[in-house]
Every structure is written in C-alpha cells, then in structure tokens.
Structure 1
C-alpha cells in the first residue's frame, strides 16, 4: 500500500457532518470532543485517537466503513452486482491511520455494509489502541495474519501470534498493542448488534 492509498478521515467526517446538517458545535456537544479538535481533524491537522474517533462515530451515527469513504464512494452509483453482493474491489480499498503512524486500519467491508465490518489492522512495534480500555456492545473477533500482538480483556493479557484466532464480547473492557520488534497484521471483525450503536 502506498501513501496515496491512505484516505482522509477528516474529509469523511466533514462530508458526513455536512450531509446530515450537523454543526461543529452540535457535533462537539454530542461527541464530547472539543470544537477546536474537531476542526483540526476535519482539516487533516489532527489525527484522532481510537477513543476520540469512537466518540465522533457514535455522534454521527454511521458505520465504521463510512469513515473510510473520504470521496463519497458510498454515495456514488455502483453496479447492481456490487449492490446485491456488497462487494468492495481491491482498487477501492481504503486505509486510515489512527492517532499514531504506528497503527492503520484497512477497510475490507464494502461501503454498503452496516452490521458486519471487517478490516486488516496493521500495528507497528510500539503501536497501541491507547491507555483507556474500549467497551461497547458488539461481537469482535479476528485472525493474526503476521507477527504477534497482545489483546488485554478485563485485565487479562492474551499473547497472540500468526495463525491464532480470537473472539470476544466487545462490551468487555479491552485494549491491544504490539510490544514486539516485528510489525503485526491481523484480520479484525466486528459484528454489531441490530440495535447497538456502531463503534470502532
């Protein structure tokens, strides 16, 4: 993946906000993220952490895949076959950097996907989801494709290596990191409950 393949999460957030006729003030109030920070994110002057992005996504009430759609691909006309089978072609795959250059997510789910989202998570040595545990209603799972990483569930540290798979209740407080010397790559899957908010 080249640098040009990395989509602008700020553009996607701004487009969604404007399409929904939500002001920066309203989004700030709903998300708990300061207006100044939101403005920086939308202008690509700030890179949101996982926690911050989760708050923005909740406030906008959109699936994760929408934040990978900086150019409005989901709004564009797609073929009937793509619509029927919910296809995302390799040429339209987007990657977004979260909070740090040490972690990127490459969306595999098609733009039309709502309840099932899957992606490739790339974590460089030292990369982490952040100090604060994540927790929200969704089934999560995955497969380690390359390298190794640590998944912490309710304080219990699981060391997972290439070939290992995992599944857990996303409501369980969790964090993940790569404390090893080699990059880690894993398939990450989120299955949202029908009435649950969509989160990262």
Structure 2
C-alpha cells in the first residue's frame, strides 16, 4: 500500500469514528473528573482540539484518537467500532475501575456504572473506614442519590437535615445541594450508591 493510500484509509477511518467520538470522549473525561486542560496535558492533544472533537466540529486523525484513548485508559476505536444493536458483554477488572477517594482518605467510591450513562446515571461501590466522611458539592438541579447500606451504619446530612441507615436500609435524598455521608460507629461501611442526574424537577 502506498503512503497516499494509507493516509486516505486513516482519514476515512477518522471520519467514520468522529460521529460518536465527541460524546464518548466527553463522557469518559467527565467520568474521570478531568477538565479539558487536564486531558490536554495528559494526552498531548491541544485543549482547543479536544473541545472541537467533543462538539463534533472536527474529524480527528487516528493518531489523535489513539492519544486520547491512551490518556483515558480505554480503547475508543474498539468501543466505537461495535454496533449498539449487537449483543455484547463488557468486563472491567478491579485494576481498570476508576476510584474516587475522599479528602480524608477514608472513603472510596469505585465507579462501577457504565461510562456511556454517566451524564444521567452514575453508579458506585462505596466503602468507608470508621470516622470517614464523604462531602459532596451540589449536583445538577433535580438530581437524586440512593444509598443502600450493605454493612455498617451511616448518617447522611443534606443541608442540615440528617438521617441514619443500617444494613438492609436505603436512603434516597436530593443531592442538588451540599450533602455528606458520615460513618457512624466503629464498623467499616459498605454500600451501593446510585445517582440519578436531573431525575426530576423538584419544587
């Protein structure tokens, strides 16, 4: 294959991928809590280019897609290359699962939800040591968080309103205002957390 033929093949591949690439890059970037500047620094792709890609205003080369996939630790080509209508099974290993750690270092949120739904549905495995506190800023208006306790006891504080939960119990609360989860007692906590972003327009 000549050099020009190879370049033409790469360009055609980039055009084919670009339709879904923007949304995919944006979802992955937000799932890892990365700003455009941070992703630009990690990938070596200019911030302005990433912004254009997310808005589907440019057809990036496969070299650019490869740099972004390396920075986001996922094969974008593989994800976009499969038809959404085809059956599939995805497996994420423990090593590949993103983890968010609280400021005090005692709470860990493993991102176990599907990255494609991160803009409207977020799902976490929550574990915390005794004395741990996970403080969160307000999410988008109408967002609701569901915390199901598997082990230990927690207290959730939403703008000064507090409620405790034990194993087998679930707390549902507005998270579109400042909120915190605190471990109560000497036992570690294990829970599942699901956040519905903009779940309802609540007056």
Structure 2: how far apart are the matches of 1:83 and 1:111? 18
Which of 189, 192, 200 in structure 1 is aligned with 2:194? 189
Residue of structure 1 in register with 2:58 after alignment: none
Residue of structure 1 in register with 2:137 after alignment: 134
Structure 2: how far apart are the matches of 1:180 and 1:11? 31
Which structure is richer in relative contact order (CA contacts within 8 A, separation 6 or more)?
1
Deviation at 1:141, TM superposition (A): 1.0
Structure 1: how far apart are the matches of 2:171 and 2:34? 30
1:100 aligns with 2:124: no
CA root-mean-square deviation: 3.6
Structure 2: how far apart are the matches of 1:87 and 1:149? 34
Residue of structure 2 in register with 1:40 after alignment: none
Structure 1: how far apart are the matches of 2:87 and 2:121? 13
Deviation at 1:16, TM superposition (A): 5.8
Structure 2: how far apart are the matches of 1:84 and 1:108? 22
Deviation at 1:106, TM superposition (A): 0.5
Structure 1: how far apart are the matches of 2:171 and 2:88? 25
Provide the aligned length of Structure 1 versus Structure 2. 140
- Return closer, same or farther for 1:108/1:84 CA change in 2, 3 Å cut-off: farther
Task: Give SS of 1:129's match.
Answer: strand
Larger radius of gyration: 2
Contact residue 139 and residue 169 of structure 1 kept, 8 A:
yes
